[in-house]
Copies of this chain bind each other. A is one copy, B any other.
Amino acid sequence: MLIVQKYGGTSVGSIERIKAVAERVVNTKKAGHDVVVVVSAMAGETDKLISLAKEISDMPPEREMDLLLSSGERISAALMAIAINKLGQKAKSFTGRQVGIITDTSHTKARIERISAESVREALQEGIIPVIAGFQGITETSEVTTLGRGGSDLTAVAVAAALNADLCEIYTDVEGVFTTDPGIVPNARKLEKISYEEMLELASLGAKVLQTRSVEFAMKYDVPLVVRSSFSDKPGTLVVKEDRDMERVLVSGVAYDKNQVKITIMSVPDRPGIAARLFKEVADANIVVDMIVQNISIDGKFADISFTVPKADKDKAVEITEKVSEALGAKGVSVDENIAKVSIVGVGMKTHSGVAAKMFETLAKEGINIMMISTSEIKVSCVIDSKYTELAVRVLHDAFELGS
């Protein structure tokens, strides 16, 4: 098999950890597999570099941030290659450029446009273990770019796709994907297998095991993923195409996200095009709106529009909304920071009805008010008062019998 192994920051967080990972890599090689390694920066390194830059400027140019931050992964790639060589296997480090990872020019959150991996293929043919610095690429004009938080996951998946690898293993400090946060629900169960679609919902809903874009990429190119721990030998969670087994499971997991705020624009005259105008301006500011609800007032002439955005974008979003509110003659803008989104996810929902109803019922039984609802084929999300987050997660986990 050709296996791409990606090791996250805590997995390479110290010299001891790097040596331990090198042994795992060498053992995989000795078991007869071809291995490609992708590494993140050593834990804490990226934050240290960011804080150095912030000491100098609160708005450092993004181009410079990319050169700065890409160094962390280069350091761990070199150290890992040294560690593997020390164990008697040939290994060679590769930068994003040397792999041929070409991105667009959006510094700090570049998107991969293509990837040649020719040099990596050649190294494999010579029996060498390639060790790739994750998180980075270059533009057509040879500028250094980075792929955003968690970007090393994307590097691993993209390289696996380019090499047509049999498996892409994502090593982290948890043992896999759980039915929910074990910190909240002690009997949360590790999932053996999950579909890309479910993983995507779980990742974007705040279960921070895998970067969202890396899952999209894996799904698009059909790269089988395994999420597992580099601190143990347990098997982890397989992320693959949906299959028959999965459809029998109604709900795979319960996710939550406390990182959003709700903004409401009150008593807007209810005319066509109002919502369009508001959300166009928000989108132009590069703010991603998650959920939207519109309530028509009793006399049918005025509407309240509520929507949620990431906490980091709160100030910008409020500013825009206030400007629109004034222009439209609305009553004003209110902000609610004490909200949380709780979601149930499962491909089985497609073919089973009553899942949403059961969710609402379960929350109602506990006296938890639902402020907003959104649904997709494989997910139902409810925005609730954030103080009920843990309670909601626990009762939903129980109601859908997810525990072990």
Contacts and interface: CB of A to CB of B under 8 A. Distances in A.
Given A52-B75, A53-B79, A71-B78, 15 more contacts: A18-B56, A56-B86, A57-B83, A60-B85, A63-B93, A64-B82, A65-B78, A67-B93, A67-B95, A68-B75, A70-B74, A95-B144, A97-B97, A97-B142, A98-B142
Interface string A299-331: 000000000000000000000000000000000
Given A63-B92, A77-B67, A92-B63, A82 B97 contact: no
A347 interface: no
A19 B56 contact: yes
Nearest to A68: B78
A93 B64 contact: yes
24 contacts: A15-B52, A15-B56, A18-B56, A53-B79, A53-B82, A56-B79, A56-B82, A57-B82, A57-B85, A63-B92, A63-B93, A64-B78, A64-B92, A64-B93, A65-B78, A65-B82, A67-B77, A67-B78, A67-B95, A68-B74, A71-B78, A74-B74, A97-B97, A97-B142
Contacts of A60: 82, 85-86
Given A56-B19, A67-B95, A142-B98, A61 B85 contact: yes
Contacts of A85: 57, 60-61, 64
A61 B81 contact: yes
A246 B369 CA distance: 89
Interface in A67-111: 67-68, 70-71, 74-75, 77-79, 81-83, 85-86, 92-93, 95, 97-98
A97 B95 CA distance: 13
Nearest to A67: B78
A71 to B, nearest CB: 4
A373 interface: no
A154 B49 CA distance: 27
A141 to B, nearest CB: 9
Chain A interface mostly helix, strand, loop or mixed?
Answer: helix
Nearest to A143: B98
Contacts of A15: 52, 55-56
Nearest to A94: B67
A70 B75 CA distance: 9
A369 B82 CA distance: 48
Given A15-B56, A56-B18, A98-B142, A61 B82 contact: yes
Given A83-B56, A85-B60, A86-B56, A49 B75 contact: yes
7 interchain residue pairs of minimum CB distance: A68-B78, A57-B86, A71-B71, A60-B82, A67-B78, A64-B78, A15-B55
A198 to B, nearest CB: 38
Interface in A103-144: 142, 144
A65 B85 CA distance: 12
A140 to B, nearest CB: 14
- For A19, A49, A82, A97, the residue with the greatest tally of chain B CB atoms inside 10 Å of its CB is A82
A101 to B, nearest CB: 14
A64 B52 contact: no
Interface in A17-70: 18-19, 49, 52-53, 55-57, 60-61, 63-65, 67-68, 70
Contacts of A144: 95
Residue from A18, A49, A52, A86 with most neighbouring chain B CB atoms (10 Å): A52
Interface in A312-370: none
A62 to B, nearest CB: 10
